[in-house]
Amino acid sequence: MKIVLIGYGKMGKTIERLAEAQNHTIVGRIDLDTTEDQRMSYYTDGDIAIEFSHPDAAYDNITGAIKAGIPVISGTTGWLDKLQAIQSLVKETSGSFLYASNFSIGVNVMFAMNEKLAKIMNDYNDYEVSVEEIHHIHKKDAPSGTALTLTNGVIDHLNRKSKWSLSDSDADTIHINAKREGEVYGDHLVRYTSTIDTIELYHTAKTRDGFAQGAIMAAYWLFNNGKTREGIHSMKDMMGLD
């Protein structure tokens, strides 16, 4: 694949290292100093764009790439209030887009297990559910996109919960405890607790490589050997988790 990197921070550099080791080619690196002419030249040369930029820039970055006719893999969080507009644009342009709050294969397995567990816990009202996440001090958004995906996965399948909060813990509210510590790559915990025991789903990321490798795998799946899969997709689609 010929990849355009949108955002060239720590994640962009990790994707570059792993992609080149797998004989993919980075044809462009888009950051704040990239001109519009350079950007369009990269899109012309590339097969697919992988976007890990900044919450404030993600919408414009993704919109520009889709309008240029290049498939987009996006992993930036903190901008999802505009996700529906991106999805509409993809439909209007017959584009190709895959978004994930987390590209780690392990985390996406956790997402599937989380939804299954929430369905089971509908029958056990004695258990209170909470979510906790820990990330490095440089992370811009809180709670993390992964924590929100986990929380919404519970809300979608656990009838007694309908919303989340970083502070409140009412009967119908899931409390999310968002911590920022050191250089932690990402720890996520879903906990069900009662007076007699506790059930936990927990994932810890040891390096950024898992996120980057998952993004490359998703890009290769979307690229589909040159027969791009049109429409709006997810890691569930790529991993066959539905």
**Do 73 and 131 fall within a single domain?**
no
The pLDDT of residue 224: 93
For the four alpha carbons of 2, 11, 151 and 117, in that order, the dihedral sign comes to positive
Its pTM stands at: 0.86
- DSSP codes, the chain: -EEEEE--SHHHHHHHHHHHHTT-EEEEEE-TT--HHHHHHHHHH-SEEEE---HHHHHHHHHHHHHTT--EEE---S-GGGHHHHHHHHHHHT-EEEE-S---HHHHHHHHHHHHHHHHHTT-TT-EEEEEEEE-TT--SSS-HHHHHHHHHHHHH-TT--EEESS---TTEEEEEEEE-TT---EEEEEEE-SS-EEEEEEE-SSSHHHHHHHHHHHHHHHGGG----EEE-HHHHHT--
CB atoms within 10 A of CB 231: 15
* Same domain membership, residue 7 and residue 83: yes
Out of 2, 54, 139, 175, which one is annotated catalytic? 139
The answer on 39 and 155 residing in a single domain is no
Q: Would you state the pLDDT for residue 140?
A: 77
Domain count, the chain: 2
Q: Which domain holds residue 14?
A: 2-101+208-239
Question: Looking at the structure, do residues 24 and 139 belong to the same domain, yes or no?
Answer: no
The CATH number linked to 233 is 3.40.50.720
Cα dihedral sign, 75-207-210-13: positive
CATH number, domain of 118, equals 3.30.360.10
Residues 160 and 219 placed together within one structural domain of the fold? no
Instruction: Considering the candidates 24, 135, 188, 203, report the single residue annotated as catalytic.
Output: 135
Distance, in Å, from the CA atom of 23 to the CA atom of 13, rounded to the nearest integer, reads 15
pLDDT of residue 77: 86
pLDDT at residue 145, rounded to an integer: 86
Determine how β-strand 25-30 pairs with β-strand 198-204.
Answer: unpaired
Q: Are residues 115 and 195 in the same domain?
A: yes
3-state DSSP of 51-104: ECCCHHHHHHHHHHHHHCCCCEEECCCCCHHHHHHHHHHHHHHCCEEEECCCCC
In whole angstroms, what is the distance from residue 62 CA to residue 43 CA?
Answer: 12
Contact 135, 183 (CB under 8 A): no
Same domain, 191 and 233: no
Q: Please report the pLDDT score of residue 78 as a whole number.
A: 85
Nearest to 34, CA basis, from 23, 22, 43? 43
| Known catalytic residue at 188 | no
The answer to whether residue 139 is catalytic is: yes
pLDDT tens for each residue of the chain, 242 residues long: 999 999 999 999 999 999 999 999 999 999 989 999 999 999 999 999 999 999 999 999 999 999 999 999 999 988 989 999 999 999 999 999 999 989 999 999 999 999 999 999 999 999 999 999 999 998 878 898 899 999 999 999 999 999 999 987 789 999 999 999 988 888 999 999 999 999 999 999 999 999 999 999 999 999 998 999 999 999 999 999 87
Whether residue 67 is found in the same domain as residue 146: no
Same domain, 129 and 89: no
Residues 132 and 200 in one domain: yes
Residues 160 and 222 in one domain: no
Q: Do residues 7 and 89 share a domain?
A: yes
